[in-house]
Chains A and B, each alone.
Chain A
């Protein structure tokens, strides 16, 4: 099932659709500026679903909001880096130019569709709005809207075209939000926890919809989530974020079968698995970090069962661990294979 449909394969052979290099985003706080995203590099291939996973404060949402430039202007700023979509650097565009990119070349779906949908506008008008903004005529906008609504699995489209968001269930609202993001045929879709607010059976439907849309349309997706299961079921590659940085990145199958960062290992071990019965789940001690008060060196070291004195010295950079698999840990080469028991966590 990781196999990509033919349309998708054609696009996959080309250069990355999106390349992020050295992205650094700061938040203003009363204590001064804190680094929410620290020197982030990533490349998303054509027709790829790329997972960005982490706990709260890891910077995953800030990272994609930086990419599409939807950060709150009063409290956040991008201090360094580049975000290349094809031939253009999004960070160099004016706000007006960026508006032309959003909707047409890059779509976004948020966790709670109620916050991104206009409560007094019909869903049909909202989906078609970006087409109208980009100069498409009224009749064509309507027919493309209806087409996109069927594409995302909304039943009875002509009736639902005139519905208001509050008349729809949470699952249907998220389908409307996806239709809004896709109606302009973007090259890449950014999805920030798109299923977190949904029930598990509806989440399952939406994730399968995302995968089938990728297969049919050949677009790329960055999927931000806290849920490793969501990553395992939908993504080709995954980047694990911690305290503003990517600590591990690679193909999903490789990272899940052989995680090379102690944090990734800990996260996977912290999940109860059905049919497994009782065991200790706590492998990672402590709490997700306060990005305003990180320890020196490796930001994970105060929770890491493998930390040694050298971990306090420098913040580790991503190094090759295997083919297409990189990890930011000075001890990654010493990690025992996963079949061995994990080292005891520190108290």
Chain B
């Protein structure tokens, strides 16, 4: 069980990272001096410990995918820095950069878009093995077979093409490709979204197994809190570019400290028909990320909002390893938190 308090160096440290994008407003805007900017990620900090699965959850526009792309260096932060094993990889160049590239791999929502339609699955898996000299040339075929076994695909898939596979099989290929270069960190961005329920269950089981058996460190990003909670040791909740809460997964569920987390959980349709509510859990719509609200960005939709919420919220420590960015964090779920005493619940390791 990882707590985020470990004294060893984190595998990944995200430190006060912000990223904005210019907003394209057509031809005339190019004549203006001051262009508006979309605030995609604002002052986000967190750490990933070796071997943990860290979940990032939030709705569209919360900045979770931008954060993923910052971590795999598809974007460069405007401010702040991202350290991988203590090294800021944006400073690397030449051979050091090439050598570092396999360390972090990404799994996308639909690997169909990242697979070459004219390349067989076997060739697609062999390519990164050759490029990064993962195994000797003669060993490549055996390694491809091992990878297919690893992700639960029949070996015959090696001779097939992406269009011949189902969505679930393609996602397994995407995972195999990410694993092929033996990464230390896998960033999975909506890796099970869009899959049918029965297939999603199979891929979630696979990801849980890979974590357990390979000791992989995973940053698992999804809009679906139930999926994130299932897979993750710790969870960060994002809203409008900010990280608003961070907690061990089970504690987040049992005693959320941010009103947005409470609303997000209540908005998920429960499969128990006996539990129905008549009113929506969170009112209103997402404010513009070009002109986010001052102070707490959730205050325009928050049931607890007061005048003070127009000032920036403090990061309130609720328990070791659990904080929420809310002026009223200690009031949000005080009773639920008391019940969530870890001594009263079996540790996660005791689960089958």
Contact = CB atoms under 8 A, between A and B. Distances in A.
Interface in A235-290: 252-253, 256, 266-268, 270-284, 286-288
A55 to B, nearest CB: 4
A272 B230 contact: yes
B348 interface: yes
B198 A267 contact: yes
Interface string B177-202: 00000000000000000001111111
B267 A233 contact: no
A271 B269 contact: no
B60 A275 contact: no
Contacts of A226: 196-197
Contacts of B225: 200, 274
A212 interface: yes
Given A212-B278, A233-B270, A277 B348 contact: yes
B140 to A, nearest CB: 28
B254 interface: yes
A232 B198 contact: no
A278 B250 CA distance: 11
Interface size class of B (residues with CB under 8 A): 35 or more
A95 to B, nearest CB: 34
A201 B253 CA distance: 17
B270 A229 contact: yes
A252 B196 contact: no
A190 interface: no
A1 B271 contact: no
Interface in A178-230: 199-205, 207-208, 211-212, 226-230
Tell me which of B166, B269, B272 has the highest count of chain A C-beta atoms within 10 A of its own C-beta.
B269
Contacts of B271: 228-229, 232, 256, 268, 271, 273
A74 interface: no
A328 interface: no
A204 B59 contact: no
B268 interface: yes
Contacts of A94: none
B281 interface: yes
Interface string A10-22: 0000000000000
A294 to B, nearest CB: 16
A229 B270 CA distance: 5
Max count, chain B CB within 10 A of own CB: residue among A1, A268, A274, A303:
A274
B264 A211 contact: no
B269 A233 contact: yes
A270 B201 CA distance: 5
B168 to A, nearest CB: 6
B198 A55 contact: yes
A2 interface: yes
A-B pairs with lowest CB-CB distance, top 8: A229-B269, A272-B230, A281-B201, A270-B201, A1-B276, A204-B267, A199-B59, A284-B198
Interface of A: 1-2, 55-56, 169, 171-172, 199-205, 207-208, 211-212, 226-230, 232-234, 252-253, 256, 266-268, 270-284, 286-288, 303
29 contacts: A1-B277, A2-B276, A55-B198, A56-B196, A199-B59, A200-B59, A200-B224, A201-B263, A201-B280, A201-B281, A208-B277, A208-B279, A212-B278, A229-B270, A232-B273, A234-B269, A252-B273, A253-B274, A267-B197, A268-B271, A271-B271, A275-B250, A278-B352, A280-B205, A281-B201, A281-B202, A284-B198, A287-B196, A287-B199
